[in-house]
Structure 1
Amino acid sequence: MHNENTQIVFISGKDSYAMDLFEIRPLNFLIKPLKEEEIVKIIKKVIELSAKSNHFFEYKIGRTQTKIPLKDILYFESSGKKVKIFTQDEVHEFYGKLSVIEQQLTNKDFIQIHKSYLVNYSHVIKYHYENVQISDNTVLPISQQQRKSVSDILLQRWREDKGNG
């Protein structure tokens, strides 16, 4: 169905089915008998994911207003007075400042890694001290000034994610 917003949790008495479900990409696979804390944890995760999927970044070029779902944005790149928005399929460009965008996206999973780059945490697949790799395999540099804070943020988030699922 190509619907990334629908969350599926499978419940079974046999764990042998779990590996067959990777293509479907369920949110989770629970084994009977169910435990209340597992169910509560899954419900919280569904609520968190659905809240994220309803957020958009809006920008304007001339008289045209455009909205892009935040979950689709890989990263923002600033060059001069222009900002490029990179998604998996296309690049959008408009006049703006990265500092203003960063303020708009506070608490929205975006991390300033460099004066020219604001990355979507959800699309960071690898982290090295000097750079991050995004889900489209783009490698972006982390400025010296940002290395400590980026490292702290990413390590904290990965610990949280590991604890949640």
Structure 2
Amino acid sequence: MIRYIALCGRDRQENSELLHSLAPLNKRVGLEFVFFDSSRTLLDEYNRGRRFDLILLDVGEDGSGLSAAIQLHRLHPAMSLILLASSEQWAIPGYRTRACGYLVRPFSGVALQEEVWLALTHCETPDFYYSFSSEEGTVQIKHSEIYYFESDVRRITLVGESASYQFNGQISQIAQQMEPFGFARTHKSYVVNLLHVENLFRDVLTLANGCQIPCSRMHHQEVARRIRDRQPSSELWAPPRC
């Protein structure tokens, strides 16, 4: 299966160098590259509905690329992203973009191959679906497209990326069912997809779509721990010898 990678470097020369460095991995996996001369053009493509398995994005000397990365994450929370930078100063702010890799120039071709292999392996993780019966009939929605569940007695509202649904259910059962897939009970009435959490401050969770969800004292410590630990461990990945 071909993997589609967007290269958004500082200039055409760097894009060409990135392509050359990834040639050994291309022979092993099968990659298709699309070049962008700016993060603005890449965002325009995403707004038109285009998607990539991986994005290599230049941070920029002023960190302006991070703003584009955050917008890309809001459009497609499950995307895989590697940030390219000239220094380490943007590494911590880059965490908000949910990047799975951060490379500081000058980096070796081997380091680039390892980061790309890790990210593509992450892409191969299957996306699961949540199924339920509503007034529209039986609905299936990807877990990665769900922001949160909200309960009003036994009436559940599921808020997703592009639509919301209502159906009958128990929030306790949903919490138990969805916990293995990165969801957490944050309040007696809410189960939230931690993939979409941008900030936890006091008793409020802010999601990528701007929604603010309460986080009760009972659940605060566990939710905070799971947000800190949600990045996959590098020990799980075994990059190929290219």
Taking a change above 3 Å as real, the CA distance of residues 99 and 20 of structure 1, as seen in their structure-2 partners, is closer
Of the three residues 81, 94, 100, the one matched with 1:27 is 81
Aligned residue number for residue 49 of structure 1: 123
Taking a change above 3 Å as real, the CA distance of residues 144 and 8 of structure 1, as seen in their structure-2 partners, is closer
Unaligned runs of 5+ in 2: 1-44, 73-79, 85-102, 236-242
Shift of 1:62: 6.6
Identical positions, percent: 18
Shift of 1:117: 0.7
Taking a change above 3 Å as real, the CA distance of residues 82 and 42 of structure 1, as seen in their structure-2 partners, is same
Aligned residue number for residue 115 of structure 1: 188
Q: Secondary structure at the match of 1:103?
A: helix
Alpha-carbon distance in 2 for matches of 1:97, 1:82: 8
Taking a change above 3 Å as real, the CA distance of residues 51 and 5 of structure 1, as seen in their structure-2 partners, is farther
Shift of 1:119: 0.9
Letter in 2 for 1:67: Q
Alpha-carbon distance in 2 for matches of 1:20, 1:37: 21
Q: Which moved more, 1:25-34 or 1:128-137?
A: 25-34
Deviations 1:94-144 (A, max 9, x none): 111122222222321111111111111111111112110111211111112
Shift of 1:77: 0.5
Aligned residue number for residue 86 of structure 1: 159
Alpha-carbon distance in 2 for matches of 1:38, 1:107: 31
Instruction: Map 1:90-101; keep pairs closer than 5 Å.
Output: 90-101=163-174
Determine if contact 1:124/1:133 at 8 Å carries over to the other structure: yes
- TM-score w.r.t. the length of structure 2 is 0.54
Q: Does 2:143 correspond to 1:143?
A: no
Taking a change above 3 Å as real, the CA distance of residues 50 and 113 of structure 1, as seen in their structure-2 partners, is same
Taking a change above 3 Å as real, the CA distance of residues 101 and 135 of structure 1, as seen in their structure-2 partners, is same
Q: Does 2:149 correspond to 1:76?
A: yes
Larger radius of gyration: 2
Letter in 2 for 1:42: V
Alignment size in residue pairs: 157
Determine if contact 2:135/2:167 at 8 Å carries over to the other structure: no
Alpha-carbon distance in 2 for matches of 1:147, 1:20: 32
Determine if contact 2:197/2:206 at 8 Å carries over to the other structure: yes
Taking a change above 3 Å as real, the CA distance of residues 130 and 162 of structure 1, as seen in their structure-2 partners, is farther
Q: Does 2:177 correspond to 1:104?
A: yes
| Two-structure CA RMSD over aligned residues (Å) | 3.4
Letter in 2 for 1:3: R
Shift of 1:38: 4.1
Aligned residue number for residue 42 of structure 2: none
Letter in 1 for 2:223: V
- TM-score w.r.t. the length of structure 1 is 0.75
Deviations 1:34-72 (A, max 9, x none): 3434422332222223425x2211111379211111111
